[in-house]
Amino acid sequence: MSMEVDLIFKIAAVGIIISILNQVLVRSGREEQATMTTLAGLVVVLMIVVEKIAELFELVKDLFRF
């Protein structure tokens, strides 16, 4: 159970950090860097999610003995 909560907190932390960086960059007039930072944060979160989905597929494969 704690693994799922850790995953949620990890994704939330990345989102908070990226949103703060985005606001700082936008207010300083660096919209391009803000966009790239947001995209980098999205890639990081997607990598975390894809890793967990791969673990789920492995679990299903082991469960049904494929």
- pLDDT value at position 22? 95
Query: How far is residue 18's CA from residue 24's CA, in Å, rounded to a whole number?
Result: 10
Tens-digit pLDDT profile for residues 25-49: 999 999 999 999 999 999 999 999 9
Name the pLDDT band for 60 (thresholds 50, 70, 90): very high
Range of the domain at 17: 2-64
Q: Which amino acid is at 55?
A: E
User: What is the per-residue DSSP string for 6-36?
Assistant: HHHHHHHHHHHHHHHHHHHHHHTT-HHHHHH
25: left (phi over 0), alpha (psi -120 to 50) or beta: alpha
Instruction: Tell which residue, 41, 53, 46, has the closest CA to residue 15.
Output: 41
